């Protein structure tokens, strides 16, 4: 117990080893150590989707076949719906805005979160095909 406190693990460290950790942090789905993206900041728009070809830690090849990440489009739709739903609930029920104002809020919300949605979709997609390997950490 004391050892755990002394380590001062960041919050997400608790999830290390689960797919949630890799999806939220953008880490390699196999080792959860190497970064998948060249820049950690998704809002640096020129390099939002620029990824390392292989994991810098365990050498896993991320793009396992040509056009592999086109499949992330199927994931981005439900991810976008979830974010739009959150924006709708906040604007329509919490702030009691009208339908048109809520629609505008949803559109702006999705536009602002586009880089995050793109990355989360890719992260979910790649985590469907890879499993965490504790030996490669």
Query: Residues interacting with Zn ion, by CB under 5 A?
Result: 28, 30-31, 34, 55, 57-58, 60
CA nearest to 22, candidates 104, 128, 110 = 128
With contact defined as beta carbons under 8 Å apart, do 28 and 57 qualify? yes
The nearest distance, CB 41 to Zn ion, in angstroms, is: 20
CA distance 137 to 135: 6
The nearest distance, CB 110 to Zn ion, in angstroms, is: 31
Q: CA triplet 116, 34, 6: central angle to 5 degrees?
A: 95
Nearer to Zn ion, 44 or 61 (CB): 61
The nearest distance, CB 127 to Zn ion, in angstroms, is: 12
The nearest distance, CB 133 to Zn ion, in angstroms, is: 9
CA distance 70 to 3: 44
Nearer to Zn ion, 28 or 75 (CB): 28
Nearer to Zn ion, 40 or 96 (CB): 40
């Amino acid at each position: 117990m004391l050892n755990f406190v002394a380590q001062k693990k960041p919050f997400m460290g608790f999830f290390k080893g689960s797919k949630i950790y890799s999806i939220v942090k953008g880490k390699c789905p196999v080792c959860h150590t190497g970064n998948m993206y060249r820049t950690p900041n998704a809002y640096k728009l020129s390099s939002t989707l620029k990824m390392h070809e292989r994991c810098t830690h365990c050498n896993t090849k991320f793009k396992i076949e040509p056009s592999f990440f086109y499949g992330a489009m199927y994931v981005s739709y439900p991810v976008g719906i979830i974010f739009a739903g959150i924006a709708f609930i906040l604007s329509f029920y919490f702030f009691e805005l009208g339908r048109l104002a809520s629609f505008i809020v949803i559109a702006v919300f999705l536009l602002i979160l586009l880089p995050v949605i793109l990355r989360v979709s890719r992260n979910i997609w790649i985590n469907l095909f890879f499993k965490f390997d504790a030996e490669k950490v």
